[in-house]
Amino acid sequence: MILAQDPTLEDFGHDPWWLVLIKVVAVFVFLVVMTLFAIWYERRVVARMQVRPGPNRNGPFGLLQSLADGLKLAFKEDIMPKLADKAVFFIAPVISTVCAFTAFAIMPFGPMVSIFGTKTPLQLTDIPVAVLLVLACSGMGVYGVVLAGWASGSTYPLLGGLRSSAQMISYEVAMGLSIVAVFMTAGTMSTSGIVAAQAGGTKVHFLGLDLTAPSWYALLLLPSFVIYFVSAVGETNRAPFDLPEAESELVGGFHTEYSSLKFALFFLAEYINMVTVSALCTTLFLGGWRAPWPISLWDGANSGWWPLLWFTIKVLLLLFVFVWLRGTLPRLRYDQFMRFGWKVLIPANLIWILALSGIKTLQNSNTSRTQTLLWLGGALVVLMAVALLWPSKKETTPLTLAEQVEQRPAGSFPLPPLDLVVPVNPRAKRIAADRSAAGTDNDQPVGSGAKEA
């Protein structure tokens, strides 16, 4: 069955009430199942990276582990701290969760499909400013975290809440700016429109040449894509940017005082936010629900229910990157993190938007080829002049080790001799013999390195 492919804004708002209800419940179920799955997925992937099995007891491959954890969490005692601001302490997790769910209302899962004989887009709703809804929801979601920190009435949550408010505001600026380039290229802010704009390689008429630009904005607008992803990690409080809940400094951060279902709501909101930014990234930069290249050669790939599969796979791949980052990178220091956001991401983004709008203006205006070249050359000359006149760092030749030792003041901490040869461990032979007798492995015995030295 082949239906009209791309939904436009006119296709929304005509669903009967039962269809709207089905879609709302479907989005809700999708998010909750994705959360349960993502927790298991994260634990398994991190475990595999650390060479251990991970949860593998409940259900096949341990898939039901997060369900069991969630049930246990619900039956735990709900503790309200004495110094807490009761009303705000209660509302905070609700705000977080409601905003997290709302943001997903505009995610396009697929093209027009037929549900019980009604033709409808595979998307809850779309508005002309759909992407801004996600930004607004994430902006409101910060309140959940900040209020939780404030209302708990203790020090660590307050510090965590303050940190997260600063962090999320800064990274939301970077995130919003990185989306601007997508708006400029797609010419629309509705998510279904952006997916449609990435359908085929657009013909670009530039410098008198006809070029076919890549269809995915991840390639066409690579700087925006990179900045979006980095700021998305900051926005969702994930490692290496999980400073609001830095265990080594702030115990649990904003949710230190939370327990039972209220804590579960924060947990849910964090994972839903992760799914949301991944889904938004898929929609804005990775072609949305459209099949990637080798699959898209098949005619039926972009019609019917198949796109739901491509969409989910893309989201899962992005979630994998989140987990990968967590398993690989250590946490940043707070001041370095803020400096990175304000002094690297935002200026780079502004320059990139300026360059992009310059290119777009040149494309749209009727300038001749020489004029275009002159403009580009002028920009290049200015760039080179700035690069030439940029003050360079004073170069200092580093001192040799011996010189550094020479310069140390008297009474310094004792140093071992620089030409030390590590003596052979007299027990090395015995240890090696013990190991091989136990038959553990073929590893090099302890001390053999020293022998070679």
Partner 1 sequence: MTSALQLAVAAGEVATSEKVVFFILAPIALIGAIGMVASRNAVHSALWLVLTMLCLGVFYIVQAGPFIGMTQIIVYTGAIMMLFLFVLMLVGRDASDAVIETLRGQQTAAIILGVGFAGLLGTGLLRVVSKLTVTGLDEANAKGNVQGLASLLFTKYVFAFEIASALLITAAVGAMLLAHVEKRKEDKISQPEMMRARFAPGNYPGPKPGPGVFATSDSVATPAKLPDGTPAQRSISPILPTRELTAAEVADKHTEGR
**Minimum distance from residue 354 beta carbon to partner 1 (Å):** 16
Query: What pairs with residue 209 in β-bridges?
Result: 206
- Distance, in Å, from the CA atom of 309 to the CA atom of 276, rounded to the nearest integer, reads 16
How far, CA to CA in Å, does 273 sit from each of 94, 102, 172, 247, 373?
14, 10, 13, 20, 45
- Binding to partner 1 by residue 396, rule CB under 8 A? no
Nearer to partner 1, 81 or 201 (CB): 81
Contact 311, 282 (CB under 8 A): yes
Q: Which long-range contacts (CB under 8 A, 24 or more apart) does 408-414 make?
A: none
- Distance, in Å, from the CA atom of 127 to the CA atom of 67, rounded to the nearest integer, reads 35
Among 32, 49, 98, 136, binds partner 1 (CB under 8 A): 136
- Distance, in Å, from the CA atom of 427 to the CA atom of 382, rounded to the nearest integer, reads 68
- Binding to partner 1 by residue 125, rule CB under 8 A? yes
Under DSSP, is residue 215 helix (H, G, I), strand (E, B) or coil?
A: coil
- Distance, in Å, from the CA atom of 56 to the CA atom of 388, rounded to the nearest integer, reads 59
Nearer to partner 1, 183 or 320 (CB): 183
Nearer to partner 1, 68 or 127 (CB): 127
Question: Which DSSP string do the residues of 251-286 spell out, in sequence order?
Answer: TTGGGTT--HHHHHHHHHHHHHHHHHHHHHHHHHHS
- Binding to partner 1 by residue 398, rule CB under 8 A? no
- Binding to partner 1 by residue 133, rule CB under 8 A? yes
Contacting range for partner 1; rule: CB under 8 A; set: 31-39, 69-77, 110-118, 121-129: 121-129
Among 12, 156, 267, 337, binds partner 1 (CB under 8 A): 12
Among 398, 411, 417, 426, binds partner 1 (CB under 8 A): 411
Nearer to partner 1, 339 or 451 (CB): 339
Contact 122, 131 (CB under 8 A): no
Counting every residue written for the chain, the total comes to 453
In what helix (H) or strand (E) does residue 177 lie, and over which residues does it extend?
helix 155-186
- Binding to partner 1 by residue 16, rule CB under 8 A? no
**Minimum distance from residue 99 beta carbon to partner 1 (Å):** 10
Helices (H) and strands (E) in the chain, counts: 18, 4
Question: Which DSSP string do the residues of 334-395 spell out, in sequence order?
Answer: HHHHHHIIIIIIHHHHHHHHHHHHHHHHHHHS---HHHHHHHHHHHHHHHHHHHHHSPPPPP
Among 162, 180, 251, 261, binds partner 1 (CB under 8 A): 162
Q: What is the largest CA-CA distance in the chain?
A: 89
Contact 250, 85 (CB under 8 A): no
- Binding to partner 1 by residue 204, rule CB under 8 A? no
# binding residues, partner 1 (CB under 8 A): 35
Nearer to partner 1, 53 or 128 (CB): 128
- Binding to partner 1 by residue 337, rule CB under 8 A? no
- Binding to partner 1 by residue 169, rule CB under 8 A? yes
**Minimum distance from residue 155 beta carbon to partner 1 (Å):** 10
**What mask, x for binding partner 1 by CB under 8 A, covers residues 182 to 201?**
-------x------------
**Minimum distance from residue 394 beta carbon to partner 1 (Å):** 14
Nearer to partner 1, 92 or 113 (CB): 92
Among 400, 412, 440, 442, binds partner 1 (CB under 8 A): 412
Contacting range for partner 1; rule: CB under 8 A; set: 7-15, 270-278, 351-359, 435-443: 7-15
**Minimum distance from residue 255 beta carbon to partner 1 (Å):** 18
Nearer to partner 1, 125 or 260 (CB): 125
Nearer to partner 1, 112 or 145 (CB): 145
Nearest to residue 150, comparing CAs of 221, 87, 243?
Answer: 87
Q: Which parts of 179-310 are beta strand (E)? A: 203-206, 209-212
**Minimum distance from residue 413 beta carbon to partner 1 (Å):** 5
What is the binding site for partner 1 (CB under 8 A)?
9-10, 12-13, 85, 88, 125, 127-129, 132-133, 135-136, 139-140, 142-143, 146-147, 150, 153, 158, 162, 165-166, 169, 172, 176, 189, 409-413
